[in-house]
Amino acid sequence: MPGPDVLEQLIGPEWRGVPFPMTALDNSGGADLVEHKRPDQDGYHVESTGANNLVITATIPFRNNIRPAASEKWLGRTPYPELFRAFLAACVDTTTGPLMHPELGQLEVKCRNYHWRYDPNRRDGCDFDVEWVRTVDDGDFLGAISEPSPVATAIALATQLDEQVVELFPPPPELAEDPVSFSEMMRSLQAIPDTATLLSKQIGGIFHRVAAKLDRLEDAMARFNATRWWPIVDGMEHLRAAVFDLQRKFAVDHKAIREYQVRIPSTMAVLAQLLNNKIDDMIRLNRDKLEKPVIPAGARVKYYLVAA
């Protein structure tokens, strides 16, 4: 026996304010990975340079013999040619535009590819395929590259220090006390499941562990030639400074987190708009609520308290 139609409760899609029907919506994302391989070594280290942009593709029937779903907003408008021509004009525009995603809410995207086809055996319109790519606007992008991620900077410094430390002979026994490498410790920041945990005491424990291992390495370096091994000493100081900057940043960026009791069944995108939060933040704060497309009434969701 089929279950309830939960998809009917999602937001109606729109592209640059043009509502449209669809028969398929595909979404793909992932991470950009760099593989570090060495000759005669089995296995290799995989480094993440960040997340790839979300890619969204849709199949749209601009056909006059269909009817809108309950959430779709094109009731009273003709799919072909009215909606088709407005949608095509929106795709021809090469600038960034708003896409109302049924699950994620409004996203800033660019249209990368589109094509449509006419079937001579079907005389009621055409079928349209489109591909969007989520984008970082130029201003945000310039800001992002002028201020590198402090976590990425710390990971890079930790990785460099690990590569230098393995050259020490004999291996310092002080480091055997904690066999986890500096880079593994710093990458554990990326493995923390949600922002609420990231801003908790757990992150302080990571910083303390890195600082303690740096102190042990500093004690060990007293037995080695400081002139020969100056890159390690320099790397230690750079990593220590990066960890201090991270501690200060997370203290400054800390936002008050509150809970909201859902009154009526709602999608995460609807709740984000209601609570004046970004959908990305809501997803990170409420990963345990993402199993179903609609959050039931009575459930409690976390959100950032926004200053009035």
Last residue of a domain, one of 96, 123, 141: 141
- 10-residue mean pLDDT profile of the chain (308 residues): values are 67 91 94 86 84 94 92 89 93 92 88 96 96 76 51 84 87 83 82 50 77 89 82 90 79 69 88 86 79 85 79
**Where do we find the tokens 């013999």?**
65
Predicted local confidence at residue 110, as pLDDT: 95
Three-state secondary structure of 46-65: EEEEEECCCEEEEEEEEECC
Beta carbons of 272 and 179 less than 8 angstroms apart: no
Q: Are residues 25 and 135 in the same domain?
A: yes
Domain that holds residue 46: 6-141
The token pair that represents 194 in the structure block: 């949600």
Q: What CA–CA distances, in Å, run from 126 to 25, 90, 113? A: 17, 17, 17
Q: Are residues 90 and 42 in the same domain?
A: yes
Predicted local confidence at residue 140, as pLDDT: 47
Beta strands in the chain (DSSP E): 14-15, 18-19, 24-28, 31-36, 45-51, 55-63, 97-101, 105-117, 125-134, 257-261, 300-304
Angstrom distance (rounded) from CA 164 to CA 232? 6
Predicted local confidence at residue 45, as pLDDT: 86
Residue 1 lies in a domain: no
Angstrom distance (rounded) from CA 61 to CA 10? 19
Q: Are residues 165 and 227 in the same domain?
A: yes
Residue 194 lies in a domain: yes
Phi-psi region of 135 (alpha: psi -120 to 50; beta: other; left: phi over 0): beta
Task: Specify the number of domains making up the chain.
Answer: 3
* Packed helices 201-221 and 230-253: angle between N→C axes, nearest 10 degrees: 160
Q: Are residues 185 and 98 in the same domain?
A: no
Q: Are residues 197 and 130 in the same domain?
A: no
Predicted local confidence at residue 137, as pLDDT: 62
Residue 279 lies in a domain: yes
Angstrom distance (rounded) from CA 202 to CA 222? 32
- CATH assignment of the domain containing 45: 2.40.30.200
Angstrom distance (rounded) from CA 12 to CA 99? 11
Q: Are residues 31 and 119 in the same domain?
A: yes
In this structure, how many other beta carbons lie within 10 angstroms of the beta carbon of residue 273? 16
- CATH assignment of the domain containing 262: 3.10.350
The token pair that represents 271 in the structure block: 């709740």
Phi-psi region of 218 (alpha: psi -120 to 50; beta: other; left: phi over 0): alpha
Q: What CA–CA distances, in Å, run from 305 to 196, 276, 279? A: 13, 9, 14
